[in-house]
Amino acid sequence: MARYQITDDDLPFASEFLAEPIGYHSPGLQRVLNRMRGADWDFKYVLVVEERHSKWRLGKLPKQRGAKVEMVDGVVYTDLREAECDIFKRRWSDLTGQDLEALLPHSS
């Protein structure tokens, strides 16, 4: 079990991430990302390449080697940053039960 739990105190880091999902992050945001991307999970969100460099579908990769990747219906991305932001919001909701969009009304 990961020790760090995401709370409302992390909302500023969510704003930071949604503004720039790739590259340099503050230590606080890095900790949030480590929690979301680390080993403590039953499945992992993955980007299944539909067309290289232009189109991805969202999938859930189970922990078990060789298990089927479950596709999330209707979720298609044409931009990797957009995909990162969407996955971040999904994980925020998975981990806190809260809708990040509602907490951050001005985020995209």
Partner 1 sequence: MLPIVGYTNKLTVEPGETIDVMVGSFGAKNYRADFRQIIQGDTNPDGPGYKDKLIDLDLGGDRRALDKPFRPGSCVLIPGVHAIEEVRDFTLAAVVKPTLLDGRKRSILALPGFAEIGIDEHDRLTGVAGGQTLTSTMQVSVDHWHIVSLSYCADTKALSLAIAQDRDSTSEPPCPEVVTVSTDLSSGRPSECIIAASRDDDGELTGFLDGRIDRPAFFDTAIAPETLRNLLADFSLLRRQRSLLGAWDFSRKMTTRMICDVSPYQLHGHIHNAPTRAMTGWLWKGQELDWKLRPDLYSAIHFHSTDMYDAGWEVDFSLTIPDDLKSGVYTVRLVPDSDEEAAYYCVFAVRPPRDRASGNTVAFLFPTCSYLAYANHRLGMDVPGTEIGMGRAVELDRHHMFLQDNPGIGFSVYETHDDDTGVFHSSRLRPIVDMQPKVKSFLGGYGSNIWQFNADTHILGWLDAIDQDYDVITDEDMHEDGLRLLQRYNVILTGTHPEYYTRNMMEAMQGFTDRGGRLMYLGGNGFYWVVSFNEDMPGIMECRRSEAGIRPWEPGHGHFYHGFTGEYGGLWRRNGHPPNHLCGVGMTSQGFDVSEPYVVSPEAENPRAAFIFDGIEGTRIGDFGLAGGGAAGLEVDRADLAQGTPEHALVLATSTRHTDIYLMTPEDLLDPTPDWSGTQADIIRADLTFFETIGGGAVFSTGSIAWAGSMAWNGYDNEIARMTENVLRRFDDKTPFEYPQC
Question: Which residues of the shown chain bind partner 1 in the complex (CB under 8 A)?
Answer: 21-25, 27, 30, 33-34, 37-39, 41, 44-49, 52-54, 56, 59, 61, 65-69, 80, 83-84, 87
Compute the least distance from the CB of residue 58 to partner 1, in Å.
9
Output the CA–CA distances (angstroms, integers) from residue 79 to 29, 48, 64, in the order listed: 22, 13, 29
Nearer to partner 1, 8 or 69 (CB): 69
Please say whether the beta carbons of 48 and 59 come within 8 A: yes
Compute the least distance from the CB of residue 2 to partner 1, in Å.
11
Nearer to partner 1, 11 or 46 (CB): 46
Pairwise CA distance, residues 88 & 9, whole Å: 16
